[in-house]
Structure 1
Amino acid sequence: MGRIRTKTVKKAARDIIEKYYTHLGNDFHTNKREKEQERRDNYVPEVSALDQEIIEVDPDTKEMLKLLDFGSLSNLQVTQPTVGMNFKTPRGAVRVCPVIFNKSENKKK
């Protein structure tokens, strides 16, 4: 099967290239990422995160907000950070996966 290369098709192709020249490029994925980033940058949420009745922040965040001149927000509530939320394994500790070391379940399979 050959392709039809008539004058009409060539003119239509030239018109498309002329119209969308800035969008066309050698790397389709780069252009796609740029368009996706533009779409995310232009996103405006329907309800602002600052329109909540109470915004819970830790003391460090409160200090950062003061430095950025947002310390006057009336709905900020300072809470102490919970202890034990560090998900990193301390040095020298061994992580144990319960699925691997549970022998009774492995035998059933």
Structure 2
Amino acid sequence: MHGGRGFLVGQFLDASNNLRQDGYGSDPAGRGRFVKEVVHAIRERTGPDFHVGLRLSVERHGLVLADMVQLVGELLASGTSTSSTCRCGTLRSFPPTPPKAAGH
């Protein structure tokens, strides 16, 4: 499954996109509920020998590393075979590029 930028799983995890006030939003546990239910449904239909992988983007729009570590641990315990995370950001999250020296 792809939970990176713009994909449905990522939209549920992203606090800036997920403004829900029900059990699927409002806090990291609620925002992680959707992906956990999807993994559970896949695992239920495929069995333990089927590889289930997940890609997530962290530290972007309210997704902090500690929340993702918690979520990935829960997912691995509940049936995800592997998880791949990448650190992403926006232009505002990276330090500004220093100006080049004269003559360069």
Pairwise same-fold verdict (TM > 0.5): no
Q: Decide which structure has greater strand share.
A: 2
Q: Decide which structure has greater helix share.
A: 1
Normalised to the residue count of structure 2, the TM-score between the two structures is 0.24
Structure possessing the higher radius of gyration over alpha carbons: 1
Structure scoring higher RCO (CA < 8 A, sep ≥ 6) equals 2
Normalised to the residue count of structure 1, the TM-score between the two structures is 0.23
